[in-house]
Structure 1
Amino acid sequence: MKVAFATQDQQRVDAHFGWAKHLAVYEVTAESCAFVEDFAFGDNLAEDGDEDKLAPKLAAIGDCAIVYVGAIGGSAAARVVAAGIHPVKVTGPDSISDILSRLQEVLKGTPPPWLRKALLKGQEKRFDFEEEDQVQS
C-alpha cells in the first residue's frame, strides 16, 4: 500500500496537512518499504480558508491508503476521508523511518480494522460465496 507523510524537511512528520511543503510517498508492505515520490508544494500555503490549496495535495496522494500528518483541519480531514485516504495524526515531530518501521511491525501481525480496510484500497471488492455457504450450512 502507498502511504504519504506531511513534512517540511522530508525526514519527519512535522507539518499540518494544508501547510506541508512536501508530501513524501512510500510503498509499504510487511517485508519492505520503498520511497516512491516526493510531491513539493510552494511557499504560499499558510492561508486559512484557502480550500484550493488542498486540491493538488489530494490529487498527489489519491492512490495512498494513509496520510500521516502533524495536524489537519476539519474540512481537509473530511476531503481526505472522502478520497478514501485514512488520516493519522502524530503527537509530535516523528521520524518517517520510525513510523515506517512501526507500520511494518503492525502489518506483520494482526492489523487493526481501520488498517485492514486501508490495505484494501484500490483492490476490487470480491465476495467468497463458498465461504458464505459453509457458514450458513
Structure 2
Amino acid sequence: MSSIKITSNTSGEGMLRVAFATKDLENIDSHFGSAKQFAIYDISKSSISLSEIKKVDEKDTDKTVALLKGIDIVYFTNVGAIAAAKLINSGIFTIKYKDVVGIDEETKKLQDMLNANPPPFIKKIIEKKAA
C-alpha cells in the first residue's frame, strides 16, 4: 500500500475527508474489494481539493480498511458484506452507486450539502470530528 500526496489542507470546521474507489481518477467506477486506488478529497463549505491518491498494492480487506483510516465516507460501485461491516465498524460511512458517477459531481453535491442543511449522517460526522 502506498499513497501519493497531492496537496496539504488544514482541517477546518465542517471538513469531510472522502475516498472514491476509482480506476480513472474521474469516476466512482470500482468495487471496493478490487479497487486499485482511492482518490482522497477534503471537502469543506468553501473548498474541494484532491489531497492524495492511496494505492492498493494487494487484495486484503483488512489492509484496505486500515489504508482508509481517517476517512469519513468511502464511495464505490459495490462492496461485500464483510468488507462493508469492517468499514462501518472502523467509523467509515459507506455509499454504493450501481452506476458509474463522476467524482466532480459527487464532491460538488457534498459541498452543497455542507452549505445547506446536511443530512443526519453528515451532521453526525461533523459533530464527531468537533468533539
TM-score (norm 2): 0.82
The alpha-carbon deviation at position 121 of structure 1 amounts to 4.1
- The yes-or-no answer on 1:22 pairing with 2:37 is yes
Provide the C-alpha distance between the structure 2 equivalents of 1:118 and 1:75, rounded to a whole number of angstroms. 22
Stretches of 4+ moved more than 6 A in 1?
Answer: none
1:102: which partner in 2? Answer: 109
Unaligned runs of 5+ in 1: 46-52, 125-137
Look up the SS of the partner of 2:74 in the other structure: strand
Provide the C-alpha distance between the structure 1 equivalents of 2:47 and 2:61, rounded to a whole number of angstroms. 30
Q: Could you say which structure has the larger radius of gyration?
A: 1
More strand by percentage: 2
**What are the equivalent positions in structure 2 for 1:53-132 lying under 5 Å apart?**
53-124=60-131
2:26: which partner in 1? Answer: 11
TM-score (norm 1): 0.79
The alpha-carbon deviation at position 39 of structure 1 amounts to 0.9
The alpha-carbon deviation at position 119 of structure 1 amounts to 2.2
Tell me the matched-pair count.
116
Counterpart among 23, 26, 39 of residue 54 in structure 2: 39
Identity over aligned pairs, percent: 31
Amino acid at match of 1:116: K
The answer to whether the 8 A contact 1:3-1:25 is kept is yes
Look up the SS of the partner of 2:45 in the other structure: coil
The alpha-carbon deviation at position 55 of structure 1 amounts to 1.9
Look up the SS of the partner of 1:120 in the other structure: helix
